[in-house]
Chain A
Amino acid sequence: AQSVTQLGSHVSVSEGALVLLRCNYSSSVPPYLFWYVQYPNQGLQLLLKYTSAATLVKGINGFEAEFKKSETSFHLTKPSAHMSDAAEYFCAVSLTSGNTPLVFGKGTRLSVIA
């Protein structure tokens, strides 16, 4: 069965600093990987996804993630944090067959300090 582990339940960065949110996955077959963001009292919104094309994936709001098979990682980065990036971020995995639902990590809450 596939799973994801998000390292750090809470990350705090200064405005303008690099954002790095860590995600490691476990899957017996090549996975699809996703990052979702959840703002307070809102539903989850897709930031970006990896579907076995380019290993460096660019998403919305300046975020990007790199799929590293050797490290089983899919870390999310943004060069310069903005106050509006404060939210909960979830990494998720599914099998490339598409016949299994997404499995989510526990999430990382990002705080941005002025």
Chain B
Amino acid sequence: DTGVSQDPRHKITKRGQNVTFRCDPISEHNRLYWYRQTLGQGPEFLTYFQNEAQLEKSRLLSDRFSAERPKGSFSTLEIQRTEQGDSAMYLCASSSLTDRGQGGELFFGEGSRLTVL
């Protein structure tokens, strides 16, 4: 169990550029979540997957954001035409369903910090 890993840890980009973040969850976890955290705020839910199916998307996830989990393992979060307001820490987390079908605790990665100039 190597934990949740995210790449890159830091990304600086110019406004208007596209960026992509990758998340590798804990291997046996079938749920994967993306959150966004800005300074002084708690994590805000963006979207989550159960295996390869995207089950829910927040209204925070504008059309410029897209997330995929093609084989039910790693996931990518792409932001197109970045804006300065996209500057934040993007957190990935994973969990497994318990035998009763209830979502377990979330295990978080260290996050990918995006700075848009």
A, B bound: yes
List A residues at the B interface (Cβ < 8 Å).
6, 9, 32, 34, 36, 41-46, 49, 90, 92, 94, 96-107
Find A102's partner among B41, B45, B110 (CB 8 Å cutoff).
Answer: B45
List B residues at the A interface (Cβ < 8 Å).
4, 33, 35, 40-45, 48, 56, 91, 93, 97-98, 100-111
- Which residue of A is nearest B34, CB measured? A101
Residues of A within 8 A of B109 (CB): 43
Asked whether B105 lies within 8 Å of A43 as measured between CB atoms, the reply is no
| Bound-complex Cα distance A6 to B41 (A) | 11
Residues of B within 8 A of A90 (CB): 42-43
Contacts A42-B110, A43-B109, A43-B111 given: A98-B97 contact, CB under 8 Å? yes
Q: Give the interface SS of chain B, mostly helix, strand, loop or mixed.
A: loop
B56 CB to closest chain A CB (Å) equals 7
Contacts A98-B97, A101-B48, A104-B42 given: A34-B105 contact, CB under 8 Å? yes
A29 CB to closest chain B CB (Å) equals 13
Residues of A within 8 A of B43 (CB): 44, 90, 102, 104
Asked whether B42 lies within 8 Å of A43 as measured between CB atoms, the reply is no
- Which residue of B is nearest A97, CB measured? B102
| Bound-complex Cα distance A64 to B30 (A) | 29
Residues of A within 8 A of B93 (CB): 44
B115 CB to closest chain A CB (Å) equals 15
Residues of A within 8 A of B4 (CB): 43
Asked whether B103 lies within 8 Å of A94 as measured between CB atoms, the reply is yes
Asked whether A98 lies within 8 Å of B98 as measured between CB atoms, the reply is yes
| Bound-complex Cα distance A108 to B80 (A) | 33
- Which residue of A is nearest B41, CB measured? A106
